[in-house]
Amino acid sequence: MGKGGPPVSAEQSSLPHRVALISLHTSPLAQAGGGDAGGMNVYVAQTARRLADRGVQVEIFTRATGSDQPPVVHWHPGVLVRHVVAGPFEGLDKIDLPGQLCSFTAGVLRAEAAREPGHYDLVHSHYWLSGQVGYLAKDRWAVPLVHSAHTLAKVKNAALADGDRPEPFGRVVGEEQVVVEADRLVANTATEARELIELYGADPARVDVVAPGVDTDVFRPGDRSRARARLGLPADARLIVFAGRIQPLKAPDVLVRALGELHRRSPDDRWRLVVVGGVSGSVTTSPDSLRELAAAEGVADRLEFRPPVAPELLAEYFRAADVVGVPSHNESFGLVALEAQAVGTPVVAAARGGLTVAVRDDESGLLLPGHDARDWADALGRICRDAALRERLSAGAVRQAAAFSWEHTVEKLLDTYRRAIADAAAARHPGRSVPAGTGERVGSR
């Protein structure tokens, strides 16, 4: 697990020429923080660009969500984004997307059919819906399939928030199918790798652990006062920031309740919670429901909503904060926590999933075992009030984030790609070593 077989030989070390990335339900061009756009968007965008910078031609297939979207966008040198028409442009929830799999798959296969045989060396699918498309493309194109789950239905259903709806059985079956069909599986953490193995029966030899990274050119330390002035936030506030989609899984309500607890304990302190993000998923968690909760807690005037923003501005929100709260019920990794730490802001996070990897307890932030508002108020209050603690955690946060880079992520992904191609070639030609990236296939058209 994380090793995934024998070391890649020098003969097998050449890069794949072309990779098809499938990200059906969300585009890397979309603004993260609202709708279905989140950490996966960032992951696909960052890895695609860096793969292209290494000389790999990347084509990203995503579903068109607007009539004004061009069929093909030359987004970055070496990266094409293809908008595939599948279903209505608007008004289609993620739970309705399985009904458009056939249409989307036809569009993907049609794009490849216009090329010379053997155009792609590999397919990398992101999320289970894309995996369904990916394993059909794998069979049609006779290339290996690498799959990243990003989230798993069985894990999410075991940690549902109040009012959230469970993932449907169809998704569970779909994920099980993709685990069987994929040549290699990419997990964000060792915990996710174990979940794939124990809950889905994945072959440990086919699971690679590849941690996401953080863009430290964008998310870097800066002046808190200047950031607050730029964002129009009070200079003297004890400022807590939440960034992400507003949905039960992300649990922003926990921070609202903690804000109420902090206000009751010390009403003279200028507590402020800023929520940066848009509505996603179940309507049981929305700005209106959070406002109602804040009113019940007596802190309606201390809660503020800001829309999703580009990474450069998001970094300013993190710089402005005394602390960033990440109370998610589950995260496969938790990029927000890593990005906040990269600017030097401590994080209070739930000890769930990948957050236990992204945050080092009492070194770069604080990890909490549950979601009790009193415990969250204790942790948030400690960091906001104790300057020495905040300074220590801030230094640790920068060190923690520095251990993760997108360059390292892509290097590990390329190892996975090489191994997948080499294994597929070995299956086609038993006993003969075939260098990766030569166009050899496991089957024929």
Burial of 99 (0-12, 13-18, 19+ CB in 10 A): exposed
pLDDT of 83 > 90? The answer is: yes
Distance, CA of 145 to CA of 139 (rounded, Å) = 9
Q: Which helix (H) or strand (E) holds 314?
A: helix 311-320
pLDDT of 1 > 60? The answer is: no
pLDDT of 436 > 60? The answer is: no
Phi, psi of 94, deg, nearest 5: -60, -35
Worst-scoring range by mean pLDDT, 30-34, 42-46, 143-147, 338-342?
Answer: 30-34
- Structure tokens that stand for 282 in this block: 């179940």
DSSP state of 102: H
pLDDT of 438 > 60? The answer is: no
41 is in an annotated binding site: yes
CA 277, distance to chain mean position in Å, is: 15
Rg (CA), the chain: 22
pLDDT at residue 368 in the model: 98
Q: Judge contact between 32 and 39, C-beta under 8 A.
A: yes
- pLDDT tens-digit series, residues 2-27: 444 445 444 345 679 999 999 998 88
365 CB-near residues (< 8 Å, 6+ apart): 337, 341, 346, 347, 348, 349, 359, 393, 396, 397
DSSP state of 15: P
93 CB-near residues (< 8 Å, 6+ apart): none
Inter-axis angle of helices 39-53 and 406-428, nearest 10 = 70
pLDDT at residue 445 in the model: 34
Confidence bin at 33 (pLDDT 50/70/90): very low
Select the more confidently predicted residue: 305 or 159: 305
pLDDT at residue 34 in the model: 47
What structural domains does the chain harbor? Answer: 10-213+405-428 (3.40.50.2000), 224-402 (3.40.50.2000)
Confidence bin at 273 (pLDDT 50/70/90): very high
Confidence bin at 424 (pLDDT 50/70/90): confident
List the alpha helices (DSSP H) in 182-286: 190-200, 224-231, 252-265
User: What value does the mean pLDDT of the chain take?
Assistant: 89
321 is in an annotated binding site: yes
Confidence bin at 431 (pLDDT 50/70/90): low
37 is in an annotated binding site: yes
- Of 13-22, 164-173, 365-374, highest mean pLDDT: 365-374
351 is in an annotated binding site: no
- Helix, strand, or coil here: 215? coil
188 is in an annotated binding site: no
36 is in an annotated binding site: yes
- pLDDT tens-digit series, residues 171-195: 999 999 999 999 999 999 999 999 9
309 is in an annotated binding site: yes
245 is in an annotated binding site: yes
Burial of 162 (0-12, 13-18, 19+ CB in 10 A): exposed
Q: CA dist 245 to 103, 142, 227, Å?
A: 28, 38, 22
Q: Which of 405, 404, 383, 381 is nearest to 394 (CA)?
A: 383
- Of 56-70, 252-266, 427-441, highest mean pLDDT: 252-266
Distance, CA of 275 to CA of 253 (rounded, Å) = 11
Q: Judge contact between 219 and 384, C-beta under 8 A.
A: no
319 is in an annotated binding site: yes
318 is in an annotated binding site: yes
61 is in an annotated binding site: no
- pLDDT tens-digit series, residues 350-361: 999 899 999 999
Distance, CA of 17 to CA of 38 (rounded, Å) = 28
pLDDT of 225 > 80? The answer is: yes
301 CB-near residues (< 8 Å, 6+ apart): none
> Percentages helix, strand, coil for the chain, rounded to the nearest 5?
45, 15, 40
Residues written for the chain: 445
Q: Which of 124, 142, 140 is nearest to 182 (CA)?
A: 124
List the alpha helices (DSSP H) in 142-200: 153-157, 169-181, 190-200
Confidence bin at 157 (pLDDT 50/70/90): very high
412 is in an annotated binding site: no
Q: Judge contact between 25 and 130, C-beta under 8 A.
A: yes
DSSP state of 268: T
- Structure tokens that stand for 230 in this block: 């730029």
257 is in an annotated binding site: no
339 is in an annotated binding site: yes
1 is in an annotated binding site: no
